[in-house]
């Protein structure tokens, strides 16, 4: 049986879609047969993502992809990172890794769902608390083999420069009129980027779970971490809040008063906003990556939110 997931499918594979031999190996690893599987929504990767009820009453969460899937490397990276996170990081625990025809990560099950980031939501405090807890727990950086944020992200966060070089003529009118300024600004965050915190680098609502039992928010999908200043992860929540319906000023009031941002100059924050917007704008124009669905439309929405934030900050 081939290990390739049908590239034309537009939904996640469910537990029965996984090859029988792969399911047997996973069940042997976790020590009990699966009696019920509940596929989970969210995210952009078309891999298995299921909560499993086992015959002995335990529950686990399994995410899995064929071993030759283009994103299998990201799963291996996530397994390496999560297996070494400190115990008090707000994140599910990695229980097992199964690799062969497929790569599968077995994690502790969390009864919950994506937090609600809309204005007035009680989940907002829990999200910000999770970010604060993570930055404190992950400083100093507990891993010595992750790249620095400047080596990792700086080459990627130059979207406006690339768009200017490509003479893109279909930009948002405000972005088109201010393209030179955006390109000049998108490196302004870099002098303030160095630090000793393990950064998640992909904090958005689908990479968070609000746990039902206590309302605590956990951070998931640690595939692309780096080492840098803690404020970078925190400030990425501003465009996420704008996408959820917050006015830019209200989003800033919630986020920019956090302790990790106390000494960061306003121009560095504006520069990072420009860098994020440029990255999302450029990426949204590319073909959907193999094995993904919905990533490019998300990036288009994120770019628009970040531009709204930049307009608020610059008054250009």
| Rg of the chain (C-alpha set) | 20
Q: Is 220 helix (H, G, I), strand (E, B) or coil?
A: coil
Task: Summarize pLDDT for 117-165 with one digit per residue, the tens.
Answer: 999 999 999 999 999 999 999 999 999 999 999 999 999 999 999 999 9
**Fold (topology level) of 15-109:** Phosphorylase Kinase; domain 1 (3.30.200)
Task: Summarize pLDDT for 179-197 with one digit per residue, the tens.
Answer: 999 999 999 999 999 999 9
At 177 the pLDDT is: 97
At 133 the pLDDT is: 97
At 1 the pLDDT is: 26
Q: How far apart, in whole angstroms, are the C-alpha atoms of residue 26 and residue 97?
A: 9
In a structure prediction context, what are the per-residue pLDDT tens digits for the chain, which is 316 residues long? 223 333 344 678 999 999 999 999 999 999 999 999 999 988 899 999 999 999 999 999 999 999 999 999 999 999 999 999 999 999 999 999 999 999 999 999 999 999 999 999 999 999 999 999 999 999 999 999 999 999 999 999 999 999 999 998 899 999 999 999 999 999 999 999 999 999 999 999 999 999 999 999 999 999 999 999 999 999 999 999 999 999 999 999 999 999 999 999 999 999 999 999 999 999 999 999 988 999 999 999 999 999 999 999 999 9
Question: In this structure, what is the dihedral angle of CA atoms 85, 91, 92, 97, given to the nearest 10 degrees?
Answer: -40
Q: Which CATH superfamily is domain 113-314 in?
A: Aminoglycoside phosphotransferase (APH), C-terminal lobe (3.90.1200.10)
At 244 the pLDDT is: 98
Question: Where do the structural domains in the chain lie, given as residue ranges?
Answer: 15-109, 113-314
pTM: 0.93
At 10 the pLDDT is: 60
């Amino acid at each position: 049986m081939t290990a390739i997931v049908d590239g034309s499918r537009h939904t996640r594979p469910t537990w029965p879609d996984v090859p029988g031999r792969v399911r047997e190996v996973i069940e042997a690893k976790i020590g009990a047969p699966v009696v019920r599987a509940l596929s989970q929504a969210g995210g952009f990767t078309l891999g298995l993502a299921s909560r499993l009820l086992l015959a002995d009453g335990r529950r686990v969460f399994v995410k899995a992809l064929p071993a030759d899937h283009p994103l299998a490397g990201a799963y291996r990276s996530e397994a390496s990172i999560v297996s070494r996170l400190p115990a008090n990081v707000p994140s599910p625990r990695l229980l097992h890794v199964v690799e062969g025809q497929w790569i599968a990560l077995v994690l502790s099950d969390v009864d919950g769902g994506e937090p609600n980031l809309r204005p007035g939501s009680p989940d907002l405090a829990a999200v910000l608390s999770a970010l604060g807890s993570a930055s404190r727990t992950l400083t100093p950086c507990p891993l010595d083999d992750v790249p620095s944020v400047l080596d990792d992200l700086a080459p990627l966060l130059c979207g406006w420069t690339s768009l200017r070089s490509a003479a893109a003529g279909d930009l948002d009118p405000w972005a088109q009129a201010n393209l030179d300024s955006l390109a000049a600004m998108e490196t302004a965050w870099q002098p303030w980027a160095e630090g000793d915190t393990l950064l998640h680098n992909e904090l958005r609502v689908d990479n968070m779970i609000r746990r039902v039992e206590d309302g605590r928010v956990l951070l998931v999908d640690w595939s692309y971490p780096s080492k840098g200043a803690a404020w970078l992860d925190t400030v990425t929540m501003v465009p996420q809040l704008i996408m959820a319906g917050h006015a830019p000023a209200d989003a800033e009031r919630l986020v920019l008063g956090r302790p990790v941002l106390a000494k960061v100059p306003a121009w560095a924050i504006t520069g990072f906003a420009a860098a994020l917007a440029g990255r999302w704008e450029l990426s949204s124009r590319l073909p959907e990556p193999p094995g993904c669905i919905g990533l490019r439309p998300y990036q288009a929405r994120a770019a628009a939110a970040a531009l709204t934030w930049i307009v608020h900050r610059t008054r250009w």
